[in-house]
């Protein structure tokens, strides 16, 4: 059984990769990283290091052309700023998806991964969506309803060759970290911050989520944050 894992270099997908390696062996796991025109390459560098750590094959693909038709705070072609507040606060200020929602990004990533997975004779496609990402409709393409429909579309559209699974879809982010800690995931190699400076900013939505997830597990995030933010997040 060969598995392809969507590997962004972040906490969730790295935990997903660790799980796949444990279940199927590194030689049967392919990591796939997709670039979509982000403002920085830190995530991809993290994904490369994680794949090197686990000694899995690592494929990379640039999908940024597809997103050139839209505007989104995550993209290098956008003048929008990445919000420095939590997702909960962002959701209170507006209806529907947050401004770091890239339209149907996960749908597109999963479809591209499905095509490559079939071409590479994989019968399983893993990705790291979890319950917290979908909360309050922040990222509708992380919800369980989306995951189930997409899994059915891939099963039908591949003629029964490929199964899509999101093993953490019912877990919180803290739950994902708990599973990763048990698997001894090298979280010091991962990257989550949307901003992409030398150190993670500690104040964007994804930094806040990450820090909270480690804190809820009673451990420190192994990444180093600027001193001011480190004090605040204690």
Binding residues for its own copies, rule: CB under 8 A, are: 59, 61-63, 65-67, 69-71, 96-97, 102-108, 110-112, 114-116, 118-120, 137, 140-141, 143, 145-146, 149-150, 152-162
Task: Tell the smallest beta-carbon distance from residue 120 to its own copies (Å).
Answer: 6
Task: Tell the smallest beta-carbon distance from residue 168 to its own copies (Å).
Answer: 17
Encoded tokens for 128 = 């790291």
Q: Are 180 and 217 in contact (CB under 8 A)?
A: no
Q: Which is nearer to its own copies, 25 or 70 (CB)?
A: 70
Q: Which is nearer to its own copies, 28 or 115 (CB)?
A: 115
* Residue of 177, 77, 55 whose CA lies nearest to 128: 177
Task: Tell the smallest beta-carbon distance from residue 183 to its own copies (Å).
Answer: 28
Residue 54 to residue 45: CA distance in whole angstroms:
14
Task: Tell the smallest beta-carbon distance from residue 39 to its own copies (Å).
Answer: 18
Q: Are 21 and 134 in contact (CB under 8 A)?
A: no
Q: Are 43 and 10 in contact (CB under 8 A)?
A: yes
Task: Tell the smallest beta-carbon distance from residue 121 to its own copies (Å).
Answer: 10
Task: Tell the smallest beta-carbon distance from residue 228 to its own copies (Å).
Answer: 35
Q: Which is nearer to its own copies, 18 or 102 (CB)?
A: 102
Q: Which is nearer to its own copies, 59 or 174 (CB)?
A: 59
Q: Which is nearer to its own copies, 108 or 181 (CB)?
A: 108
Distances (CA, A) of 117 to 72, 95, 140, 164, 187: 28, 36, 24, 10, 26
Query: According to DSSP H, which parts of 41-96 are helical?
Result: 42-54, 87-93
Q: Which is nearer to its own copies, 77 or 227 (CB)?
A: 77
* Residue of 36, 232, 21 whose CA lies nearest to 8: 36
């Amino acid at each position: 059984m060969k598995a392809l894992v969507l590997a962004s270099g972040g906490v969730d997908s790295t935990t997903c990769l660790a799980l796949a390696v444990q279940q199927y062996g590194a030689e049967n796991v392919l990591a796939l990283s997709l670039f979509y025109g982000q403002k920085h390459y830190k995530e991809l560098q993290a994904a490369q290091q994680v794949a090197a750590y686990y000694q899995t094959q690592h494929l990379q693909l640039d999908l940024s052309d597809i997103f050139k038709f839209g505007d989104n705070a995550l993209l290098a072609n956008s003048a929008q700023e990445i919000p420095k507040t939590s997702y909960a606060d962002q959701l209170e200020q507006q209806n529907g998806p947050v401004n770091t929602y890239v339209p149907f990004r996960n749908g597109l990533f999963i479809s591209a991964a499905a095509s490559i997975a079939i071409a590479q004779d994989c019968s399983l496609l893993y990705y790291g969506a979890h319950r917290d990402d979908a909360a309050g409709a922040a990222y509708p393409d992380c919800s369980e309803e989306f995951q189930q429909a997409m899994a059915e579309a891939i099963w039908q559209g591949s003629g029964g060759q490929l199964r899509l699974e999101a093993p953490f879809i019912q877990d919180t982010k803290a739950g994902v970290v708990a599973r990763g800690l048990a698997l001894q995931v090298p979280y010091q190699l991962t990257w989550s911050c949307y901003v992409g400076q030398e150190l993670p900013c500690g104040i964007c939505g994804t930094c806040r989520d990450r820090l909270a997830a480690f804190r809820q597990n009673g451990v420190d995030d192994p990444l180093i944050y600027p001193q001011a933010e480190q004090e605040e997040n204690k």
